[in-house]
């Protein structure tokens, strides 16, 4: 055996030399493999690009599977969205409705990778976009999914003029051929959102709230996104101009065949614009259905409470209407009959336990009998 002090006087034998050489070769080889893998990850083959829809995902642009999202605060962690599963169909306007703090913004921003998820999975065109993904895919996603903010005054850089603000995205992604083409694109977009070419040199503070939101929409739409997350885009606006901005979003959705996740905190806003509506309470989806069907046949008591708050055009009826309040304790869920998200009728899902599900099915049977 070699003593500690003999270490430096020891001349390695042939066998020891061979062993140390093989260790260093292995180390170099593993470093090289890591390097090659990293390069491979950066170069995404064409079939891995988000453009190429994975077979089976032709209908759904975004699929969220059992997503859990938590915010960390020091050592503490608070789960704000849990067991969240949702498919957003290609080309639809999906309305996500719920009260303040229910997790709507968190869900929207998670799709854009602005907030990481704790568990579950998010797919875009069938490709996983949650967790660790190649940088090139992140960049692709950044150009394909755009965000319209709630407060246009806070989201626009006050020190940049309209031309600069609208061009920011196409500059970052080199989406034009020369300065003339860029200007042409910006002017066209300005016109499409109802602003004039002379507005190009002005600054956000020189515009009204509605106009600022139009600038925000132009900044988004110039990117030709496949999907837009509109996070309460009209809440901060004057009631008189809300319909105009809603119509503008709807116009782009139809013309460009894009998908919209429209976030709102009351049902009256999403009623006219959405194809389908999801109701979120305390970070969980409680009901999901076609917009008309949700208004016609709501099941979950929280959906009913939201519906009871929708304004009625008739002033007399509006005065006498009863607003239903929702208390989650009313369910009396027991450990042996916990709630799950069930499809009560085709395309209509509700969070319920077995006893509630039976009640909802009876309601449906009654409706069918009445219709006969
Ligand atoms: N950065 C953050 N750090 C810690 N907690 C957060 C953070 N952002 C949001 N939350 C918490 O997560 C929960 C969901 O917030 P989120 O902003 O998604 O709600 P929301 O439905 O969009 O509400 P609102 O209608 O008011 O915009 C809330 O309880 C909120 O307090
Ligand atoms: Mg929000």
Who's near 150: CB < 8 A, 6+ residues apart? Answer: 231, 232, 233, 235, 236
Average pLDDT over residues 166-192: 93
In ligand 1, which atom is closest to the CA atom of 73? 4
**What domains can be seen in the chain, in order of their start residue?**
60-282 (3.40.50.300), 297-372 (no CATH)
CA max distance for the chain:
103
Which atom of ligand 1 lies closest to the CA of 71?
4
Atom of ligand 1 nearest to the CA of 107: 18
8 A C-beta contact, residue 345 and residue 339: no
* Res 124: pLDDT: 96
Residue nearest ligand 1's atom 14 by CA = 103
- For residues 49-69, give the mean pLDDT: 93
Pair type for strands 93-97 and 76-89: unpaired
Which residues keep their CB under 5 angstroms from ion ligand 2? 105
DSSP 44-107: --GGGSTTSPPTT-SSEEEEEEEEEEEEEETTEEEEEEEEEEEEEETT-EEEEE--TTSSHHHH
Comparing C-alpha atoms, which of 226, 54, 60, 65 is closest to residue 127? 54
Lateral strand order in the sheet of 276-281: 145-148, 227-231, 259-264, 93-97, 276-281, 284-290, 348-352, 340-345
The Cα–Cα gap between 291 and 239 comes to 22
pTM to 2 decimal places: 0.86
The predicted structure's pLDDT at residue 182: 94
Residue of higher predicted confidence among 126 and 314: 126
Q: Which residue has the tokens 């208004």?
A: 295
Pocket of ligand 1 (CB under 6 A): 71, 80, 98, 100-106, 265
- Residue 13: its pLDDT value, please? 77
Residue 204, classed as helix, strand or coil, is helix
State the pLDDT at residue 44.
Answer: 58
Confidence of residue 94 (pLDDT cuts 50, 70, 90): very high
Which residue is closest in CA terms to ligand 1's atom 25? 100
Atom number in ligand 1 closest to CA 99:
25
pLDDT-based confidence at residue 6 (cuts at 50, 70, 90): low
The residue whose CB lies within 8 Å of the most ligand 1 atoms, and thus the one to mutate among 103, 231, 306, is: 103
């Amino acid at each position: 055996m070699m003593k500690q002090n003999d270490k430096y006087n020891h001349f390695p034998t042939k066998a020891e030399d061979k062993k140390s050489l093989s260790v260093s070769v292995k180390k170099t080889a593993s470093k090289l493999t890591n390097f090659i893998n990293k390069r491979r990850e950066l170069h995404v083959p064409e079939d891995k690009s988000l453009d190429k829809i994975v077979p089976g995902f032709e209908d759904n642009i975004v699929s969220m599977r059992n997503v859990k999202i938590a915010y960390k605060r020091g050592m503490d962690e608070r789960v704000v969205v849990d067991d969240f599963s949702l498919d957003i169909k290609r080309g639809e306007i999906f309305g996500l409705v719920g009260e303040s703090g229910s997790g709507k913004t968190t869900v929207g921003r998670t799709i854009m990778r602005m907030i990481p998820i704790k568990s579950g999975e998010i797919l875009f065109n069938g490709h996983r976009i949650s967790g660790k993904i190649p940088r090139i895919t992140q960049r692709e996603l950044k150009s394909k999914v755009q965000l319209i903010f709630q407060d246009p005054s806070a989201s626009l850089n006050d020190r940049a003029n309209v031309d600069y603000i609208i061009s920011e995205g196409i500059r970052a992604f080199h989406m034009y051929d020369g300065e003339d083409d860029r200007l042409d694109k910006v002017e066209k977009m300005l016109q499409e959102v109802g602003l004039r070419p002379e507005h190009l040199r002005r600054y956000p503070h020189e515009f009204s709230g509605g106009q600022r939101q139009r600038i925000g929409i132009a900044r988004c739409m110039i990117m030709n996104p496949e999907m837009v997350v509109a996070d309460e885009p009209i809440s901060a606006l004057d009631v008189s101009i809300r319909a105009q901005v809603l119509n503008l979003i709807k116009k782009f959705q139809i013309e460009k065949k894009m998908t919209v996740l429209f976030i709102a905190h009351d049902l009256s806003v999403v009623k006219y614009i959405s194809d389908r509506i999801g109701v979120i309470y305390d970070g969980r989806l409680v009901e999901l259905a076609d917009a008309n069907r949700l208004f016609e046949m709501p099941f979950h008591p929280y959906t009913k409470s939201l519906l009871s708050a929708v304004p009625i055009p008739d002033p007399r009826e509006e005065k006498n209407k009863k607003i239903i309040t929702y208390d989650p304790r009313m369910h009396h869920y027991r450990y042996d009959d916990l709630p799950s998200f069930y499809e009560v009728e085709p395309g209509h899902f509700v969070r319920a336990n077995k006893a509630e599900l039976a009640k909802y099915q009876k309601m449906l049977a009654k409706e069918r009998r009445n219709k006969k």
